[in-house]
Amino acid sequence: MGQQEREKKKSKDRTEKQAEANPEVVEKGKKIKEDIDELLDKIDDVLEENAEEFVKNYVQKGGE
């Protein structure tokens, strides 16, 4: 698919997405909430045990 066509398709998808009927949006919102709830528990797994020290140690030299 050429880029132009692809853009067109995406644009169309978006419009359809926005035009979704309300109950579906609500249903989707509920699902996302559940997903996020599960996800929040996963976050602790990827945070360092000693967050405070880790963040404090994150010092860079200025760039550019």
Q: Judged by CB under 8 A, does residue 22 bind another protein?
A: no
Closest among 19, 43, 39 to 31, alpha carbons compared = 39
* Separation of alpha carbons 2 and 38, rounded Å: 38
Q: Judged by CB under 8 A, does residue 19 bind another protein?
A: no
Q: Minimum CB separation from another protein for residue 15, in Å?
A: 7
Amino acid making up residue 17:
K
Chain contacts with another protein (rule: CB under 8 A): 3-8, 10-11, 14-15, 18, 32, 35-37, 39-40, 42-43, 46-48, 51-52, 54-64
